[in-house]
Amino acid sequence: MTVQQQENILIRDAVLSDVECLVEFNAALALETEGRSLDRSVLQAGVQAIFEQPSRGFYLIAEVHIEPSKPVVVGQLLITFEWSDWRNANFWWIQSVYVHQDWRQQGVFRALYQYVYDQVHARHDICGVRLYVEQENAAARSVYAKVGLELTPYRMLERDFMSPPKLGDSQHVP
């Protein structure tokens, strides 16, 4: 297990016993950022799938030790991989970033990001770090800018086959 301490925040690889917390944090994230209530059984299976098949990615946990024997999980993020044929290396995508509301503005995301940054720079098979953020989430965009993440000229497009269609969406392929 990889562990890194920054001030009072410990960053570590998530383990199977963290699944319940990861599910709770992901559900809170979806509700807070997109107003979506996720199906807990689907979410549970999706989180568990990361542990069952590590080629999909890995979660990092941020915790603090208020009492020495009882750590408190205060944040998370998920890293997934995107192969770049142009660079012959992977991008690490930062996803599912969540910091418990009681711990925001206390350096939790900065500690998680610094850990990712240090890991990337210790390797030669990672060409960069990417993440996407809701356009309206000014607070998150500000936090991300403070650690050096910049807007790209790319726009993300998607067709989500798992979510119900929005009013006016066409169901056919042109």
Note the pLDDT of residue 79: 98
Across 57-168, the runs of DSSP E, i.e. the strands, are 58-67, 70-84, 89-99, 126-131
What is the structure's pLDDT at 125?
A: 95
pLDDT in single tens digits along all 174 residues of the chain:
455 555 689 999 999 999 999 999 999 999 998 899 999 999 999 999 999 999 999 999 999 988 777 899 999 999 999 999 999 999 999 999 999 999 999 999 999 999 999 999 999 999 999 998 888 888 888 888 888 888 888 888 888 888 766 666 666 655
Instruction: Identify the pLDDT of residue 68.
Output: 75
pLDDT at 136: 82
Helices first, then strands: H and E counts in the chain:
4, 6
Domain chopping of the chain, boundaries: 3-146
From the list 67, 68, 57, 59, the residue with the least C-alpha distance to 126 is 57
pLDDT of residue 158: 85
Rounded distance between C-alpha atoms, residue 42 and residue 97, angstroms: 19
DSSP secondary structure code for residue 63 in this structure: E
**What pLDDT sits at residue 174?**
58
Topology annotation, domain 3-146 = Aminopeptidase (3.40.630)
